[in-house]
Each structure stands twice: as structure tokens, then as C-alpha cells.
Chains A and B, each alone.
Chain A
Amino acid sequence: MSASLAPPPTGDTVASQVPSPKVPWSDVFRTVPANRSVHSLDLDVTEACNLACIYCFKWQKKAVHMDEATAKNAIDWLLEASGDFRGELKVNLMGGEPLLRFDLLQKIVPYGKCRARQLGKNLHFGCTTNCTHLTDELMAFWRRFGMGFHCSIDGIPEVQNANRPFLGGGPSSPAVEKNVPRILAYRPEVMARATISPKSVRALVDSAKYIAGLGFRSMTFKAALNCNWLAEDFEAMRSQYERLGAYYIDAQVAGRPLEIAEFGSGIRSIHSSEARSRFPCGAGRGVMLVDPRGDLWPCHRFGPHQCAGQFCLGKLGGLFNDRLREVFLKYDVLEDAKTDCVHCPAVLSCRSWCYAECVDSTRTLYDPGTEYCQAVRILFEEVIHIHDHLRSRHPEVLARLVKGNGK
């Protein structure tokens, strides 16, 4: 890890770099949106990271850290902005690498848990981590507060080291292999999230087997669309998905605990009688991000680099942009999205495009771009193939998957 990116000692946090005075509680209260339906908050506790992933969407990697007051204000804000919501509220610790700010987490997690319980609410903390920065003390803390993990890991060492090297260029795979068993011993159901780049797509199946070999029972693969995808890369993706489908079918038939999120949800969507959601995701509606400066964004993928920062929904202590949020609240995929969606065979299972990727690739909130559509169609064709195969030869397995017991 680069020394320059290490979190500064308490008291010398972002407040000393960016003017960010402690927001009075009543100002936090006034920032609350008119429609109090926020139930999940992404908290960028730092923008620093000890890895240099080739597809990272963070517009800058500076040693900008969230200070304690801002983090507490953000938690107070969530508790207010959730209104009468009585389900589980979620704070997802993100970054950068959030575990670099263990000093801050030790303060804000007890604070948030405590304040939520005093207000009769239930607050869960989760963390998206690159699995390179675990300690015994950290694991004990996680156990104590029942916190969750979401592991970013790309696959076999060659892929991991090429896609996700340390800042100095060193391989990150050994650290991941060392730490993953500790996470799985704590929570066996933790999901691995692998990002597919044009460089790594040809090792997709090997990576899936490697991730399963590490002990993960569930995994998800997402294409990094901000990379330069060529036609032959998509062909490679198609052949890899075919092999991955065969591997998935074998595992399901053999009763091995393996869940590949795209396949499982795709099969369930074929059988679902529910109308397709109007929304691609919860960004800007139930989900929001607070960045280290205390700015509010629709999700962790948005930042000051897009459209001169006009997607900023507000600032803790400032006014909330209810007009912009209405756009997310009233979004309608089939009405707003480009017209050829209605002719796409994948329209029923395609529900996971990303607003920020739309903005990045087509400069609109309503068109995810041809790369995204191509990747989704490849995936959908494989889902159809898996579904047909199981229906004809292993209907009992299909029935189990449709019920959602494939995990």
C-alpha cells in the first residue's frame, strides 16, 4: 500500500483539506428530501485505495477521507430520510477501499447502530472490499456488529493481478487468497463480485471455477463497459458464457452449492409473473451516496466528473434537489428508454442497467449503449439455453431454481 494513501490520523481528516465544517444536526434535518423513502446509503468513507484497478470508475484517487462529523451526519440523515420505513436500513461502506478507514468505522458503526436502535429502527452495515486489508481486530469488530461483506475479486491470479494490481504494480492475488477464507469462515454466503474486462473475458470460466475453489458459493459477473470492447471480445464472451452455463448446469444437477446471480435471476425472471420494474435500479430513489465531502449523489457511480457535477442531489447541511430526485422517482424504463427496447428479446430479464454507465457511454440517462445491450443479449441467450436444458432433462432442478433455492 502506498504510504501517501494511508488514512491520516484522527483529527487530520478531510476537514483539513476541504472546507467541511461540522454540520449542525438541524441542518442535516433540513436536507432531508420531501419523499422520505431512502433506505440504503452508500458511504464513501475514503477515495483512497491500495489497488489500481484498470477499470476503476472513480474519477480520482486522492487521499480524500471522510471525517467523523460528516459520517455521523450522513447516518443521521439516513435515519431522517427513511421516514416511517420500518424495514432494515442499510449503510454500505464504500470507497476507495473502505477498510483503510477502520479508525473511522470503529466510531461510526457503534454510533449508527446505537442511534438507530434508540429511534426504533434497524440499521445494517455492509462493506464492499478488495479483500487485501483484513486484520484480526477488524474481523472481531465485524463479528461484534454483525456486519456484511461484499468481495470484489476478478478470478484466477493472472486475471486478478492484471486487472487489480497494487498501486505499486505488485500482485494482489496472494493477499486475496490469504484473506478470503477468513471472510468465508465468518459468512459463508458472502458473494464474490467479478468484473469482466476485454482482457479477462477469455478466462471467465477458469475464474468462476477458481472463485468457487476459494469457497464462494455465490458470485456475480459484470462487464466493465468503460473499457474498449471489440467484436472479438464479445465473441469470446459468448463462448465463455456457453462454457460457464455448462459448468452451472453440472453444479446444479450435482447439487453443489453454486449460485451465479445472473443465471439464477434470469431463470426466475422467465417464470416470474410480476410486471417488470419501472426502474433499472434503486439509485436516486431508495439508494443514495454520501461522498467524503458530504455531497449527496444518486449512487456510488456518480460523481463530480459527470455533467459538471449536476447530478449532485445536495449536500449535508444544504438544500436537497427534490426536482432532480423526481426524475429518478418517476423513471419508467419502457417509456423513457430508447424505443427498440420493446423489440429486444431480453427485455424481460434486462433490468440491471446502470444510470451512470448510461451517462458515461451515451450521455443520457435513458440509453445504456450498444455494448451493454450486446452483453445482455449474450447473457440472455445463455439463460434461455440453461432454462431449456433444465426443463427438458432436469425439471426438478429447474423447479428448485425457480423457487430461488439454488444458492
Chain B
Amino acid sequence: MSDSTEVTFDSVLLRVRGKSCLAASVAPPFRAARWPDTELLGQELRLPDFVGASLGERGAQRALLSVLADRVPGAGAFRPRRIGFRPLPGDMARREAYRQSGRSVIFLGRCSREVVLSALEAVTQGLGPSGIVEVSLKRWDPVGDWPTGRERIDDIISYLYQSRHCGCALTLFSDLLEVDPGLWEFIYQRPRVRVAWVARELMECRSMQDFQAQREQSAALGNLERLGEAGLWPHVVLPVCQDNCHILPELVLALIEGTRGASIDVVPAPFLDSVEVPRHATARVDSTAPSVEDYVEALLAICRNPRVPLSLVSPPSWVAARIDSQATMVSSPAGVGAELAVLPNGDVYAGESLAGVNRWHLGNVLDDGADLRWERLDTISEMAGYSLKPARCAGCAWRYRCGGVDTSVLLLEERLGPDAANGGGALREFYCAPRRSLFEELLWASMETTARGQGPAGRERVGLREDGIDFEPVKIAQ
């Protein structure tokens, strides 16, 4: 038997790693069971000659299904079901730009006050007073362009709070090179404002010594740490390339410690363009990109480091949220239709990555006001099915936990072609491979934690001695 065996049959995913064995349902409701030793599993299956490889046989599979049905709550999940299972639209937990409880808007570039207010008026139609509007300012540094940036931020906040009576979460993308001394107080008084920094300067760090040198020299890094020290909880977009990939776990830990818990979005270099510049034209895997294997290894090392809180690092946080979720996810948070993009000329598109694509052009807020072509967003529901097309994801055991590839990646891949010189297929691998490995890793980890916590802890009293205390078990009254 090899060290690691993978079997998927009916709706059950089975992993044998060393002597341990893990069974999980691939479709909702998600359930899992674990045996620390395949010998124990063999005893439960009443198959004396059982080894991990036996699970390729139909008889052993049937025995396993009946065992799972006995010992796992809600084991209906393990009932035989065709691989082609598709979630119903009602089961899907989607995040869309134009939804009942909130809106997501990205202003791409230095938009005038007129464009900002017209766009906000258009996108907040029908939003109730308890709704939340998430606004991001990209491709323009409102912190560096301070008097104007300050005015624009206040325009947005005062319009949403005072005119629309709804909540607002504002993210400012900045290079943090020139920071006004009043920024700290300004953000403190506006608690839903966050500053995000794209850490391009850290792409060239080949070692932690390089990082320490950057720390001493870089004004941006210094300002980022000051933001963290002041409790302003910054966000960092950390690009990964060949140079810094092998120190990624240390780099992430150092950033978290230096900023007192900033959230970090780890982005492989090929996707960096999606953060700052239009993706539709030029995204490519160039020489600075790490290999997919190295990137996955670095992410797994982050997951295995107990000093790194997973909730702060994406994509591990994205995966961790889905391990225990019983909702069927559809696409990633950055998928098509997750946010509306507004250009400085007033053009509105159905997503940042789609800015400039006619099919997703919803209109111009200066010309059309609020009467944009909202019906084009309806096709987003088609995208959900698109991202789970059997041809793309059917072979993946994690598809229903994952929800399918980011639709914008798929569109990009489609446009470039799988065999294109710039590697559309490799782009998708950067998306899928880490998620597959992280799901596997985190599911094992969660099962081990559960195994340790089994059984009632019981009650104890403390008895006091001269030199300390003793624990005495208490028999709980019936």
C-alpha cells in the first residue's frame, strides 16, 4: 500500500494517509469520519484482510457505506448518489453585487464627485436602511492625494449615512508612501474605513534579511506598521513570485506580527494584475511566477504553522470557512457579479475584471442616471452553473465545498484559450491546486482536533496545597 491512497466513490471521498483513514461526503450535507488506524477500520468493516487499497473494491465500498450510515450523524450524506449531482439554485449561497442586503462598488481611478455620487445613487436603489454598501477605491491613491482623497471619502460616507441611512465599509488601496499626519485621526473617526496596501516591495525579498532591510528602509512598510500599531487593522495584498515564495510562511508571520494582526491576501503574481490593473488585457504567467507546486507548499506551510491565525490569511481563510459550512458555495468572492466597477468617465461594469468588456457594460451613470441595464446582471445566475460545469469541475472531489472556479478566471481562460502562450490553463491551476490541497489539509486537521476532544471533559474541583493546587474529579450528581 502506498503512503497515501485516494478513492472517491458515489458521494464519498476517502483518503488513507499513512495508517489514518478519512471519509467525507463530497456533497452537502457535509459529514466526515476518521479512523486513526486502517486496522480498526477493517475490524468495523468485518473485513479481516482489509488494507487501504481494498477500498477500490465494490464490496469494501458497500461495507464502508453501511458503517458510515451507522456511526455518523446525518449519514444520509453518504447514501449512494450519482457524481453528476447538481445543487439547486435555492441551496446556493451567493455573493452578488446587487443583492437584497447590500451592494459592492469599486471605483477604478480618480472619479469626480459627480461620478461618485451618481454611481452611489444608482447602485443603492432599492436598498433598505439596514443595508451595507461596500466601497473600494482602486487605481488611485486617495491617501497620497490627500485633500482630494479626504473629500471623496467624506462624500461617500456622508451620502451613504446621511442620505441613504445605510451602512458603509470603505477600503482604500494605497501605496502608503506619502501619508498625511492627520490620516490616523481621520480613520479613527470613521471606523469602517480600512487601508489596503499592495506589497509590491516585498516581491523581491529572497530572505528574511531582505525583509528586515525593507523594514528599515521602506516608508510604506513603516506606515503600514504604524497603522497596525494604532489598531487600524490594515489589509495587505501580498504578491507571491519566485523570489519570495520559499519565505512566504515567515513573511506572512512577520507581517501579522508587525501590524498586530493585519489581514493578508496572498496573491500569486499572475493574478496581481487583477488587483491593480485591468485583467482582461494582459494577465499572464511570466518568469516571476512561482511554480504551482512551490506556491501550494508555501500555503500548506502557513496552514501548519500554529502561530498564524488562519482567519487572517486568504486563501486559507476562504477554505477554512467552507470546511464547516453546510451551504453550497458558488464561485469565489471575486467572481463575476460580486461587485460593480465604476470608471472615472461614469461607465459601470459588472465586475472589476470585466471593465471594458461590452457584454458586461451596464451603462454610464452620467448619461443614464440610475437606469442602467441591470438585466445584464441576471445572467450572473447562469454563471453559477457555468462555474460548476461537469467538464470543468466534475472530477474534483471538493467541487461542492469549493463552489467552482472564480468565474472571472474562467472567462479569462476562455478568452486566452487553454493552449495560449501566456498559459490560460496555468492560471486556473494557480486557482485550483492550492484550494484542493488546502481543503484536504484542513479537513484532516479538523478531524484530528475533533478526535482529541472526544468524550465529556468531566468536572474537576481544585484542592489547595501549600505549594499549589490539585485537580480532583467530581462525580456529577444524577
- A: residues with CB less than 8 A from B are 24-27, 29-30, 72, 76, 110-112, 114-115, 117-119, 307-308, 310-311, 323-324, 326-327, 330, 332, 335-336, 359, 363-366
CB distance from B471 to the nearest CB of A (A): 7
Cβ contact within 8 Å between A366 and B461: yes
> Is residue B168 within 8 Å, beta carbon to beta carbon, of the partner chain?
no
- Measured between beta carbons, the chain B residues less than 8 angstroms from A363 are 464
Cβ contact within 8 Å between A336 and B464: no
Cβ contact within 8 Å between B309 and A112: no
Chain B window 379-408, contacts with chain A (Cβ cutoff 8 Å), 1 for yes, 0 for no: 000000000000000000000000000000
CB distance from A141 to the nearest CB of B (A): 15
Cβ contact within 8 Å between B231 and A330: no
Cβ contact within 8 Å between B468 and A307: yes
Cβ contact within 8 Å between A118 and B194: yes
Cβ contact within 8 Å between A29 and B309: yes
Q: Which of B191, B261, B457, B468 sits near A310, CB closer than 8 Å?
A: B468
Among the stretches B123-131, B252-260, B321-329, the one at the interface with A is B252-260
- Measured between beta carbons, the chain A residues less than 8 angstroms from B261 are 25, 29, 76
Q: Which of A26, A119, A310, A359 sits near B256, CB closer than 8 Å?
A: A26
Cβ contact within 8 Å between B309 and A26: yes
Cβ contact within 8 Å between B468 and A114: no
Could you write out 8 A-B pairs with CB less than 8 Å apart? A72-B231, A117-B191, A118-B232, A118-B233, A324-B469, A330-B459, A332-B459, A359-B464
CB distance from A71 to the nearest CB of B (A): 12
- B: residues with CB less than 8 A from A are 188, 191, 194, 230-233, 253, 256-257, 259-261, 306-309, 457, 459-469, 471, 474, 477
CA distance A115 to B233 in the complex (A): 7
Q: Which of A25, A323, A366 sits near B471, CB closer than 8 Å?
A: A323
Cβ contact within 8 Å between B233 and A119: yes
Number of A-B contacts (CB under 8 A): 81
Q: Is the interface of A mostly helix, strand, loop or mixed?
A: helix
Cβ contact within 8 Å between B460 and A307: no
With known contacts A24-B257, A29-B261, A119-B233, A365–B461 Cβ distance under 8 A: yes
CA distance A221 to B212 in the complex (A): 56
6 nearest interchain CB pairs? Answer: A115-B231, A117-B191, A310-B468, A24-B257, A114-B231, A118-B233
CA distance A112 to B233 in the complex (A): 12
CB distance from B190 to the nearest CB of A (A): 10
- Measured between beta carbons, the chain B residues less than 8 angstroms from A330 are 459-460
Cβ contact within 8 Å between A111 and B231: yes
Cβ contact within 8 Å between A118 and B231: yes
CA distance A26 to B261 in the complex (A): 7
Cβ contact within 8 Å between A310 and B232: no
CB distance from A234 to the nearest CB of B (A): 27
With known contacts A26-B253, A118-B231, A307-B469, A336–B461 Cβ distance under 8 A: yes
CB distance from A346 to the nearest CB of B (A): 23
CA distance A359 to B457 in the complex (A): 25
Cβ contact within 8 Å between A327 and B306: no
Q: Which of B194, B260, B465 sits near A72, CB closer than 8 Å?
A: B260
Q: What 8 new A-B contacts, CB under 8 Å, besides A307-B469, A310-B469, A365-B462?
A: A24-B307, A25-B256, A29-B261, A117-B191, A308-B467, A326-B457, A327-B460, A364-B463
Cβ contact within 8 Å between A308 and B306: no
- Measured between beta carbons, the chain A residues less than 8 angstroms from B232 are 114-115, 118
CB distance from B268 to the nearest CB of A (A): 23
CA distance A118 to B474 in the complex (A): 43
- Measured between beta carbons, the chain A residues less than 8 angstroms from B308 are 26
CA distance A114 to B463 in the complex (A): 42
CA distance A112 to B191 in the complex (A): 12
With known contacts A117-B191, A324-B462, A30–B231 Cβ distance under 8 A: no
CA distance A117 to B193 in the complex (A): 10
CA distance A331 to B459 in the complex (A): 8
CA distance A381 to B306 in the complex (A): 55
A108's nearest neighbour on chain B, judged by CB, is B231
- Measured between beta carbons, the chain A residues less than 8 angstroms from B260 are 25, 72, 76, 115
Cβ contact within 8 Å between A25 and B469: no
Cβ contact within 8 Å between A327 and B462: yes
CB distance from B14 to the nearest CB of A (A): 30
CA distance A30 to B310 in the complex (A): 12
- Measured between beta carbons, the chain B residues less than 8 angstroms from A364 are 463-464
- Measured between beta carbons, the chain A residues less than 8 angstroms from B469 are 307, 310-311, 324
- Measured between beta carbons, the chain A residues less than 8 angstroms from B307 are 24, 26-27, 29-30
CA distance A25 to B477 in the complex (A): 42
CA distance A111 to B228 in the complex (A): 10
Cβ contact within 8 Å between B230 and A114: yes
Cβ contact within 8 Å between B188 and A110: yes
The interface centre, meaning the residue of A117, A323, A332 with most chain B CB atoms within 10 A of its CB, is A117
